[in-house]
Amino acid sequence: MKPTIEIVVAPTGEVLIEGVGFKGTDCEKATRFLEVALGVVNSKAKKPEYHQQARSILQQPQGR
């Protein structure tokens, strides 16, 4: 699944920002600009995916 940011605005004006498909701290990095733009953050919750590491695949050419 491709990582996405979901934004829900309640009738009361409360805004919920949720990162979907992110692992580790990538979600915080991806949503930080929205938190800064919107101002005060009342609460944050870390989903289980936060504690998973983002996977990087490094390929090294075989020696000749």
Percentage of the chain exceeding pLDDT 90: 30
CA distance 8 to 48: 21
Domain boundaries of the chain, sorted by first residue: 4-50
CA distance 44 to 17: 9
DSSP conformation class of 9: E
**Are 3 and 21 a contacting pair, CB within 8 Å?**
yes
In this structure, what token pair is assigned to residue 31? Answer: 């949503």
Res 56 pLDDT > 70: no
**CB under 8 Å to 48, separation ≥6 — which residues?**
none
Higher pLDDT, 58 or 3: 3
Higher pLDDT, 39 or 53: 39
Is the model's pTM score more than 0.75?
Answer: no
Average pLDDT over residues 29-41: 90
Average pLDDT over residues 30-55: 82
Beta strands in 2-63, from DSSP E residues, in sequence order:
4-9, 15-20
